[in-house]
Amino acid sequence: GENVEQHPSTLSVQEGDSAVIKCTYSDSASNYFPWYKQELGKRPQLIIDIRSNVGEKKDQRIAVTLNKTAKHFSLHITETQPEDSAVYFCAAGGGTSYGKLTFGQGTILTVHP
């Protein structure tokens, strides 16, 4: 089955800096890669996603890049703000286990004012 590795496990940045979180996946058939933000005690919220026919997608301060050959994808947050502090999860889906998402272990992002 699919296996998703996420790094780093914790990330601390100053307000205004950029943050990058990286994930690798194992199933070359996976074709859908969402990112979720989860604040303490809250539900995971979808912030951006990308499909395998696209190399990059951007939404305001957030961007995701995908390298199918290397089987890795990354989340980029620019001009970070304290309210960006949360746990971020990457996931992969649509492969041999069509429908389900396999999640990474999460990255705790802390943005210091």
Partner 1 sequence: GAGVSQSPSNKVTEKGKDVELRCDPISGHTALYWYRQSLGQGLEFLIYFQGNSAPDKSGLPSDRFSAERTGGSVSTLTIQRTQQEDSAVYLCASSFWSNQPQHFGDGTRLSIL
Rank residues 74 and 88 by Cβ distance to partner 1 and give the closer one.
Answer: 88
In whole angstroms, give the CA distance from residue 23 to residue 17.
20
Q: Which residues bind partner 1 (CB under 8 A)?
A: 1, 6, 31-32, 34, 36, 42-46, 49, 89, 91, 93-94, 97-106
Min dist CB 103 to partner 1, Å, is 4
Shortest distance (Å) from residue 68 CB to partner 1: 17
Answer yes or no: are the C-beta atoms of 50 and 33 closer than 8 Å: yes
C-beta of 77 vs 91, nearer to partner 1:
91
Closest approach of partner 1 to the CB of residue 17, in Å: 25
Cβ distance to partner 1 smaller for residue 80 or 107: 107
Least Å distance, CB 43 to partner 1, is 4
